[in-house]
């Protein structure tokens, strides 16, 4: 895959390479820009019918017969265009600007306008071009190219493998692969080396490792800053003048869902230009007490935001600053960044710094941990005061300490759904169990860890096929590693939390395969769904293989004791 991309990038002119990169990933802009290439299949069908001069029923019939809108379009257009002279080739710019116009069309009458614009584009296209245009905009292309593959290919195309680190750093600071590709191609590697955090471009968030006891963590971090680990949603706030944007950890722009937080930021951030981070938590409207994460998910909706804000108010607890008054401070130590943060804000009940303690006393930290749990937090995150902000990294400079459960039971973990098995009996017609994976961050793949069938309510079972429908695949995804043959496969996209009785070695699951014992991976025994849909998490935010290995080893140590 990388080799194909290298060839493609080398042959692409600098003025369109950003567009080529976005289109390769099936989009028009980087993640954090809220303009979606996607078009409903119904609209695509109408446009195709119009372009072919056929009744929609005929096109629908062809689609049913071929099973894929791209192939259907190719054969219908071939029929129609037979004998006509082939036209000039469509350019990347032409296709991109048409798709961009279609994506930006909103409001009354927009469906008709989209149909007409798309039909115009399809009439200009050769049959094979129409095939790929339609697959791209209906989300059926699914090349499965990960950001990391594009980074590799860019390094090889425009520099050499050793440049990979510089390019990745730029990516972690700006999250915009198209922009980096254009800079590399037109200005070279030196210009990419100068990248820094900028308002409006998402900085990929720094993440934490996990350990089982405060004592263990103190061996890694001296006199850590111990912060409450709030049970909410991570938000990166960008401010320029009165303009506020909020971004999620999945790189989405979520400003519209949190108008109250945006308002607080506008009023309480005293500086003109800033990027800061915090955890947003749902609170009880009457008592101000923190509520579990699930309550915050009511805010994840498109319509009725005003009522949701009233019904489910939220506060934000701030813990980091990455840029203040135009200055990128990601390379300053955490202690200093927090000081800059403190000076940049006016604290109020809804907008304030996290609770924290600086200590290297195990007892003291444990008591602080208990108070965090009592107040509805998940535990603590212990951070090195000297550490820089390591954009995009899960590092040992931040280590989380979560509540561990009774003796045998492991802590809950976040897994991504990659497959399903059809149900029987009461569950026939729906899914009987899901095949789930963790994330191997070193190899950028999703090895399976268990098959989970319990903990689902009837309601869950009924909704599951619909929730997962957009991610359905005919075959297993290129980045999924599985020893089991699922009935249905999915693109890794939806993250759920599960808990199990213990971690065991398993010959069929690929998590940590050959890492503990030859020909065996690690699996979760007796897993159940905890009812937490982690819609806020990207598949790459699932629990990692390294964390599972650490949990497995910790368990062994306890048994030995
Ligand atoms: P996890 O989701 O278990 O990987 O834990 C990391 C997440 O904890 C972050 O992405 C934040 O959303 C959240 N979090 C809560 N409190 C803090 C804090 N004080 N510092 C950093 N992250 C926090």
Contact (Cβ atoms closer than 8 angstroms) between residue 284 and residue 242: no
Task: Please give the pLDDT value at position 87.
Answer: 67
**250 lies in the same domain as 399:** yes
CB of 353 sitting under 6 A from ligand 1: no
Ligand 1 test: best mutation among 203, 226, 230, 550, most atoms within 8 Å of CB?
230
Number of domains in the chain: 3
Task: Please give the pLDDT value at position 560.
Answer: 45
Query: Rounded to an integer, what distance in angstroms lies between the CA atom of residue 378 and that of residue 291?
Result: 11
pLDDT digits (tens, 9 = 90+) for 398-424: 999 986 543 344 689 999 999 999 887
- Which numbered atom of ligand 1 lies nearest the CA of 249? 10
Of 386, 406, 426, the position where a domain reaches its end is 406
Domain that holds residue 101: 27-137
**211 lies in the same domain as 351:** yes
Phi, psi of 387 (to 5 degrees): -75, 145
Distance 146 CA to ligand 1 centre (A): 24
- Which numbered atom of ligand 1 lies nearest the CA of 537? 2
Please indicate, yes or no, if residue 19 is contained in any of the structural domains.
Answer: no
Ligand 1 test: best mutation among 334, 355, 381, 403, most atoms within 8 Å of CB?
381
- Alpha carbon 219 to its chain centroid, in Å, reads 32
**369 lies in the same domain as 418:** no
Q: What's the CATH code of the domain at 532?
A: 2.40.50.140
Please indicate, yes or no, if residue 185 is contained in any of the structural domains.
Answer: no
Residues 6+ apart with CB under 8 A from 326: 273
Which residue ranges of the chain lie beneath pLDDT 50?
Answer: 405-409, 559-561
Task: Please give the pLDDT value at position 454.
Answer: 85
CB of 356 sitting under 6 A from ligand 1: no
Closest C-alpha to ligand 1, atom 17: 229
Task: Please give the pLDDT value at position 103.
Answer: 96
Contact (Cβ atoms closer than 8 angstroms) between residue 192 and residue 171: no
**361 lies in the same domain as 445:** no
**519 lies in the same domain as 432:** yes
Q: Is the dihedral of CA 417, 139, 131, 54 positive or negative?
A: positive
Closest C-alpha to ligand 1, atom 11: 234
Distance 149 CA to ligand 1 centre (A): 27
CB of 319 sitting under 6 A from ligand 1: yes
Catalytic residue numbers read 229
**534 lies in the same domain as 439:** yes
Residues facing residue 328 across a β-bridge: 323
Query: pLDDT over 70 for what percent of the chain?
Result: 96
| Residue 427 DSSP code | G
Ligand 1 test: best mutation among 202, 208, 414, most atoms within 8 Å of CB?
208
Closest C-alpha to ligand 1, atom 9: 234
Q: Which of 527, 523, 498, 501 is nearest to 510 (CA)?
A: 523
Distance 250 CA to ligand 1 centre (A): 13
Q: Which of 130, 109, 105, 107 is nearest to 38 (CA)?
A: 105
Distance 118 CA to ligand 1 centre (A): 43
**234 lies in the same domain as 383:** yes
Please indicate, yes or no, if residue 302 is contained in any of the structural domains.
Answer: yes
pLDDT digits (tens, 9 = 90+) for 279-326: 999 988 777 778 878 788 888 887 888 998 988 899 999 999 999 999
**346 lies in the same domain as 436:** no
CB of 74 sitting under 6 A from ligand 1: no
**397 lies in the same domain as 421:** no
What is the token pair recorded at 178?
């198209």
CB of 381 sitting under 6 A from ligand 1: yes
Task: Please give the pLDDT value at position 405.
Answer: 41
CB count, 10 Å around CB of 440?
20
Q: What's the CATH code of the domain at 103?
A: 1.10.3260.10
Pairing of strands 472-473, 480-481: unpaired
CB of 354 sitting under 6 A from ligand 1: yes
**385 lies in the same domain as 517:** no
- Which numbered atom of ligand 1 lies nearest the CA of 383? 20
Please indicate, yes or no, if residue 7 is contained in any of the structural domains.
Answer: no
pLDDT digits (tens, 9 = 90+) for 170-190: 999 999 999 999 999 999 999
Please indicate, yes or no, if residue 152 is contained in any of the structural domains.
Answer: no
Distance 131 CA to ligand 1 centre (A): 43
Alpha helices (H) in 312-387, listed in sequence order: 334-344, 362-374
Beta-strand runs (E) in 346-430: 351-353, 356-358, 379-383, 394-402, 413-422
Of 380, 406, 432, the position where a domain reaches its end is 406
Q: Which of 234, 316, 167, 247 is nearest to 541 (CA)?
A: 234
Task: Write out the DSSP string of 145-205.
Answer: --HHHHHHHHHHHHS-GGGHHHHHHHHHHH--HHHHHHHHHHH-HHHHHT----TTSPPPP
Distance 381 CA to ligand 1 centre (A): 7
Task: Please give the pLDDT value at position 67.
Answer: 85
Query: Rounded to an integer, what distance in angstroms lies between the CA atom of residue 535 and that of residue 554?
Result: 29
Distance 542 CA to ligand 1 centre (A): 13
Of 406, 431, 446, the position where a domain reaches its end is 406
With vertex at residue 374, the alpha carbon angle to CA 402 and CA 291, rounded to the nearest 5 degrees, is: 90
Residues 6+ apart with CB under 8 A from 317: 228, 230, 278, 279, 281, 352, 353, 354, 355
Residues facing residue 533 across a β-bridge: 496
CB of 208 sitting under 6 A from ligand 1: yes
Please indicate, yes or no, if residue 169 is contained in any of the structural domains.
Answer: no
Please indicate, yes or no, if residue 176 is contained in any of the structural domains.
Answer: no
- Which numbered atom of ligand 1 lies nearest the CA of 543? 4
Please indicate, yes or no, if residue 350 is contained in any of the structural domains.
Answer: yes
CB of 234 sitting under 6 A from ligand 1: yes
Closest C-alpha to ligand 1, atom 16: 229
Helix (H) or strand (E) run with residue 324 in it: strand 314-324
CB of 231 sitting under 6 A from ligand 1: no
With vertex at residue 476, the alpha carbon angle to CA 472 and CA 481, rounded to the nearest 5 degrees, is: 130
**78 lies in the same domain as 221:** no
**378 lies in the same domain as 417:** no
């Amino acid at each position: 895959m990388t080799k194909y991309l290298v060839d493609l990038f080398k042959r692409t002119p600098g003025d369109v390479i950003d567009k080529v990169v976005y289109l390769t990933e099936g989009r028009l802009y980087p993640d954090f820009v809220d303009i979606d290439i996607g078009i409903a299949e119904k609209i695509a069908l109408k446009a195709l019918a119009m372009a072919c001069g056929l009744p929609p029923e005929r096109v629908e019939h062809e689609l049913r017969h071929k099973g894929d809108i791209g192939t259907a379009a190719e054969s219908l257009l071939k029929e129609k265009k037979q004998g006509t002279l082939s036209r000039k080739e469509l350019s990347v710019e032409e296709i991109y600007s048409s798709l961009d116009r279609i994506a930006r069309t909103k409001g009354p009458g927009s469906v008709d306008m989209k149909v007409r614009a798309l039909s115009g584009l399809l009439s200009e296209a050769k049959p094979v071009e129409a095939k790929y245009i339609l697959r791209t905009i209906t989300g059926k292309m699914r090349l499965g190219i990960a950001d990391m593959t594009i980074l590799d290919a860019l390094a090889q195309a425009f520099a050499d493998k050793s440049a990979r680190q510089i390019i990745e750093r730029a990516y972690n600071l700006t999250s915009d692969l198209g922009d980096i590709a254009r800079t590399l191609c037109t200005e070279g590697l030196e210009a990419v080396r100068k990248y820094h955090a900028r308002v409006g471009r998402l900085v990929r968030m720094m993440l934490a490792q996990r350990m089982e006891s405060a004592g263990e963590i103190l061996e890694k971090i001296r006199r850590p800053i111990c912060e409450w680990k709030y049970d909410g949603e991570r938000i990166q706030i960008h401010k320029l003048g009165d303009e506020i944007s909020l971004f999620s950890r999945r790189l989405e722009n979520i400003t519209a869902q949190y108008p109250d937080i945006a308002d607080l930021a506008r009023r309480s951030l005293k500086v003109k230009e800033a990027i800061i981070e915090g955890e947003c938590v749902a609170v009880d409207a009457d008592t101000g007490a923190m509520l579990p994460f699930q309550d915050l998910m009511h805010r994840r909706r498109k319509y009725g935001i005003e009522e949701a804000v009233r019904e489910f108010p939220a506060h934000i607890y701030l813990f980091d600053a990455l840029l203040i008054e135009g200055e990128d401070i990601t390379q300053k130590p955490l202690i200093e960044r927090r000081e800059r943060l403190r000076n940049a804000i006016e604290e109020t009940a809804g907008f304030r710094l996290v609770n924290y303690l600086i200590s290297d006393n195990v007892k003291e930290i444990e008591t602080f941990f208990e108070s965090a749990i009592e107040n509805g937090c998940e535990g603590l995150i212990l951070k090195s005061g000297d550490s820089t902000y390591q954009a995009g990294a899960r590092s040992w400079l931040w280590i989380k300490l979560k509540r561990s459960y009774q003796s045998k039971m492991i802590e809950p973990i976040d897994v991504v759904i990659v497959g399903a098995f059809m149900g029987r009996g009461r569950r026939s017609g729906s899914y009987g169990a899901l095949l789930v994976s963790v994330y191997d961050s070193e190899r950028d793949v999703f090895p399976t860890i268990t098959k989970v069938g319990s903990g689902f309510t009837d309601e869950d079972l009924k909704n599951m096929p619909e929730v997962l429908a957009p991610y359905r695949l005919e075959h297993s995804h290129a980045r999924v590693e599985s020893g089991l043959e699922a009935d249905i496969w999915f693109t890794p996209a939806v993250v759920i939390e599960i808990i199990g009785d213990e971690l065991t070695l398993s010959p069929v699951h690929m998590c940590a395969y050959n890492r503990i014992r030859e020909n065996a991976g690690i699996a979760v025994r007796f897993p159940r769904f905890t009812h937490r849909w982690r819609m806020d998490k990207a598949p790459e935010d699932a629990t990692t293989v390294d964390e599972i290995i650490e949990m497995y080893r910790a368990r062994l140590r306890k048994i030995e004791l």
